[in-house]
Amino acid sequence: QVQLVESGGGLVQPGGSLRLSCAASGSISSIRAMAWYRQAPGKQRELVASTDSGTSTSYADSVKGRFTISRDNAKKTVYLQMNSLKPEDTAVYYCYTSARRSPYANYLDYWGQGTQVTVSS
């Protein structure tokens, strides 16, 4: 089984910063994409940022220039540095990965349990 454990959420004032971390553990042969999604109350889950196994990254338009996704392949960890936070960034943030448990297995989707980010004065 593959587990994703997130940390770093919390309450922050508008304009503040937070750094989310997500560590993958378990029986992992290789990891392909890693990403962060978020879901605000009453809204659909949306992709915030993603990175592949190399250096390619992509961002939602709403966070470009404010959020940075990075990855430590040796630690099987993905980070999301969030700067200049706005109240509309308030949501539960979920970590996602596409990974396989052996060289011959298919890549499967895995999700973290979510971490709450609240931006409020």
pLDDT of residue 42 exceeding 90, the answer is yes
pLDDT digits (tens, 9 = 90+) for 7-40: 999 999 999 999 999 999 999 999 999 999 999 9
Q: What pLDDT score does 58 carry?
A: 97
Q: What pLDDT score does 82 carry?
A: 98
pLDDT digits (tens, 9 = 90+) for 52-104: 976 899 999 999 999 999 999 999 999 999 999 999 999 999 999 999 999 99
- Full DSSP string of 40-99: -TTS--EEEEEE-SSS-EEE-TTTTTTEEEEEETTTTEEEEEE-S--GGG-EEEEEEEEE
